[in-house]
Chain A
Amino acid sequence: MIQINTTEKQQHRKLFVTWAITFLILFPVLILLGMLMRIKQGEIIDISMSKFYSFMTLHGLGMAGVLFSIALASLSYLLGTRYSKISVSLGYYVYYGVVIGVVGLVIGTLIGEFGAGWYMLYPLPFKGAYWTDWSLGVSFFSILILGVAWLIQCLHILNSIAKQYGGFKNILGWQYLGKSEPAQELPSIILISAVSVLASVFAVLAGAVMDILFLMQYFEPSLELDPLMMKNIIFFFGHTIVNATMYIGIAWLYAILPEFTGRDWKITKVVAIAWNATFFFILFAYLHHLYMDFVQPLALQYVGQMASYFSSVPATAVTMFGVIGQLYRSKVGWSMVPVMFLLGVAGWAIGGFAAVVDSTIAVNRALHNTLWVPAHFHTYMLMGIVLIIFAFLYYIGANENKDNDIEPGWGFKTFVTGSYGFLLMFYLGGLFSIPRRFSDYAGIDTQVIHETGALLAKIAVVFITFILIGLASMYSTLIKKLLQSLKFQA
């Protein structure tokens, strides 16, 4: 724990509110891109195929990147104001790096029409045929800038908490694994930060390797990379970064929820083991993305399914039961923050459950690359980590005081209802074998797929409208509260 003075805290606040407002602007814009995709698939308005895929690419990269960024920024704020020294001026460099990266991606996709999908499966970026050559360079450079910015912030966090809490082994909670209780207690947020940020470092490094290989290929077109190896790198990056985003959110959940329930949430041996195991499982679960590559070594396919299954154990038995232990008969006041935490964890559980089902090889052969896949990750993203992030925003908006937290209103209810309706259409798409990443379903001869796909997309558009209306209503109070929070006095 550290003590900082009011000026320092105000500087942290200002940086965080800058992040928050940026996030609140980008988020609905990215949703709008998702809506346009469904509008095209639902045959409501015709959008060109090239636009569709550029929107898809920007939506995917943008959402994954923006959520990871705001998660890092939220964690940095909480750590920097309470637990260890986090640099605000470095934070601004990271902020501008991310902004430049995002602007670059917007230019690359919307003007240069880059559209290789957020996962940019090698060698598609170089053989896509429709996007401009320069859009490749701009997009790869932008991703590199994002990667460098994230890497700097991640290493800074790790370094800072390791310094404050007795070194690297200690922040991973290894002192809890021995027989005797450790002399000094480690706050649970530190352990989870260490695990999730370290996983992020691995992911970002893999992403950087991939991006640098892409840049080499860009400048030297004769270069040929192995497609299977590239697939492994790409999915390691994508899967791990998205999972790490969720775990970063869980870190502040462990710290903030107890303030609302009045029950502490400490590290025990079980918690320490669980989070170390989680770290291990996160790194290997990505293999479930390569089940349909029959040439991938068989042992890795087994590891993929086992790691995916095992990752459900610490997540449910420790973290989710921890949340239940926090809330059960706690007389918690159901204001915005605890409600969002609870629903966020529930969305994580529901999406995670659907993910584990799909991570069964015998099931994946029927669901791989159908809408089932985006269905499950949109659940734990939109109804999981997004809610946990909004909980943090409301918490700051309430000036970190539970008595200032507001009641959930109709806007929030509309947002959640719209989201689950939208997600249901996604799952039904998976159930009916509707392929993912299809600009439209008109090229499919089997009528029932064409018609079902278009119908589900049409209904999804209605639900997305609810999402946007709900958000608009939430924004009107949230932004006001965030701006007011800048003027706090100690």
Chain B
Amino acid sequence: MSLVILPLTIQTTAALVSLLGTLLVVSVVVYLFKTSSDYEEKSSAKAKVYRMRDRYFLGLALTILIVLITSLSMLPYPKFHKNPDSVVTVVAMQWLWKMAPEAIAADQDLVAFAGKNEITLPVDKLIEFRVTSADVNHNFAIYNSKGTLIAQTQAMPKYYNNLQYKFTEKGEYEVLCLEYCGMPHAYMVAKIHIE
């Protein structure tokens, strides 16, 4: 199911599902307002509601089980990673990004690390971004040219978060910082060109 104006992405799916949930809640509220004047004796009204509740409970339990099983099998974490085609080191610093197409030693001085806030990478290859920070928490988030957030991971001091992503379309991508990191946080941007 795809909307005319909106392509099916994680974002649009989440919004559609939430819209359905909201409509369900709204209909229950409207129904309660509408029916409240038809008086029914307490015990019989409650019995009806409890019968509903039992059915709801079973349905909810089943839904949760199914969604958990399906959604917990493909996660963005290292355990699910494959061998990457290339490795990119990303160092976040107040308030810039340093990216270079190489792995770095664990004891490398991150402030001195010479990376650029622009990088060119190949299309259809599995890239592994090794993301860390030289100061505070940042968040390495990649947006495509349509402005959709397509991948992200936190950039944390003292830790490396490895993010794997395969760009399937050539073009310009923008990196934004998605963890508040101080005053010019909203201006901490970088570019990825996919060729």
Write out the residue numbers on chain A whose beta carbons fall within 8 Å of the beta carbon of B94.
127, 129
CB of A227 within 8 A of CB of B159, answer: yes
CB of B154 within 8 A of CB of A293, answer: yes
Write out the residue numbers on chain B whose beta carbons fall within 8 Å of the beta carbon of A372.
14
Q: B149's contact among A227, A306, A328, A433, by CB below 8 Å, is which?
A: A433
Report if A430-B152 is in contact (Cβ < 8 Å); known contacts: A354-B18, A437-B185. no
Stretch at the interface among A148-156, A162-170, A199-207, A356-364: A356-364
In the complex, the chain A residue whose C-beta lies closest to that of B177 is A435
Write out the residue numbers on chain A whose beta carbons fall within 8 Å of the beta carbon of B57.
313, 317
Kindly state the separation between the CA atoms of A136 and B138 in the bound complex, as whole angstroms: 21
Kindly state the separation between the CA atoms of A353 and B20 in the bound complex, as whole angstroms: 10
Kindly state the separation between the CA atoms of A270 and B181 in the bound complex, as whole angstroms: 46
Q: In the complex, what's the smallest C-beta–C-beta distance from B138 to chain A, in angstroms? A: 10
Stretch at the interface among A61-69, A249-257, A295-303, A389-397: A295-303
Q: B53's contact among A262, A310, A321, A357, by CB below 8 Å, is which?
A: A321
Number of A-B contacts (CB under 8 A): 246
CB of B174 within 8 A of CB of A365, answer: no
Stretch at the interface among A179-187, A446-454, A462-470: A446-454
Write out the residue numbers on chain A whose beta carbons fall within 8 Å of the beta carbon of B157.
123, 227
CB of A443 within 8 A of CB of B189, answer: yes
CB of B67 within 8 A of CB of A309, answer: yes
CB of B10 within 8 A of CB of A362, answer: yes
CB of A369 within 8 A of CB of B11, answer: no
Q: A366's contact among B9, B22, B147, by CB below 8 Å, is which?
A: B9
Q: In the complex, what's the smallest C-beta–C-beta distance from A49 to chain B, in angstroms? A: 5
Apart from A292-B139, A302-B72, A367-B11, 6 more pairs, CB < 8 Å? A305-B71, A330-B45, A432-B11, A445-B174, A446-B145, A446-B147
Q: Which 3 A-B residue pairs are closest in the complex by CB-CB distance? A: A443-B187, A353-B21, A366-B10
29 contacts between A and B (CB under 8 A): A53-B180, A121-B136, A123-B136, A127-B94, A129-B182, A263-B46, A295-B161, A301-B75, A305-B68, A313-B60, A313-B64, A327-B32, A328-B48, A334-B33, A342-B29, A342-B33, A353-B18, A354-B18, A357-B17, A357-B18, A361-B72, A366-B150, A368-B152, A430-B14, A431-B11, A437-B185, A444-B186, A446-B145, A449-B143
